[in-house]
Structure 1
C-alpha cells in the first residue's frame, strides 16, 4: 500500500447495502446487507487505483475519483 491514507475508512453504496471498510493495515472487510464480513482480504492502492485480493483468491479493482470509489460496477461514497 502506498503512503496515501486518504482512502482509509468506510465506503458505502448509495442504498447502504454494501459497506466496505478499508483498514489502515492493508486489509478490507466488506458487509452485504445483514451479512457482516461477507468478503475480506487485502488491498493495495497506487495513486487513485485500488487492487483487491479476496481471502479466497478472487481479485478485483477499482478507481477513486472526486472522493467516490468506482468498483465492480458499484459506486461507493465515503461514510461521513
Structure 2
C-alpha cells in the first residue's frame, strides 16, 4: 500500500469483479464479505475484506491473506486482473 492510498478516501469496490475470460468472478459485498467463484466451482474462496484508499486486504475464511489494489477502475488482486461487471452485462 502506498502512502497516497492510505490518505485517499476509501473507494467503492462493492459489486462483481471478473477476469477478462470470465473464469474467475469475485463478488465484493457491502457487508465486507467476498465470495469468489472459479469456473464452475461456486464459492471457491470466501472471506472478509477491508478497504483503505484504493487498497484491499483480504482474509479468507481459512486464514489465508491476500491483497489487491484498484487502479484506473481495474482490480489487481495478487496475480489476477479483474474488471468491474456492470449490471446487465
Superposition TM-score, scaled by structure 1 size: 0.93
Q: What is residue 8 of structure 1 aligned with on the other side?
A: 14
| Distance (Å, rounded) in 2 between the aligned partners of 1:5 and 1:60 | 18
> Superposed, which structure 2 residues align to 1:1-80 within 5 Å?
4=10, 6-80=12-86
Determine helix, strand or coil for the equivalent of 1:38. strand
TM-align CA RMSD: 1.2
Q: CA offset at residue 72 of structure 1?
A: 1.6
Count, aligned residues: 78
- Structure 1 residue ranges (4+ consecutive) displaced by more than 4 angstroms after TM superposition: none
Query: In 1, are the aligned partners of 2:11 and 2:54 still within 8 Å (CA)?
Result: no
Name stretches of at least 5 consecutive residues in structure 1 with no aligned partner: none
Query: In 1, are the aligned partners of 2:11 and 2:51 still within 8 Å (CA)?
Result: no
Query: In 2, are the aligned partners of 1:5 and 1:24 still within 8 Å (CA)?
Result: no
Superposition TM-score, scaled by structure 2 size: 0.84
Q: Which structure has more helix as a fraction of its residues?
A: 2
* Partner deviation per Cα, 1:48-69 (whole Å, 9 max, x = no partner): 0000000000000010001100
| Distance (Å, rounded) in 1 between the aligned partners of 2:11 and 2:77 | 18
Name stretches of at least 5 consecutive residues in structure 2 with no aligned partner: 1-8
Q: Which structure has more strand as a fraction of its residues?
A: 1
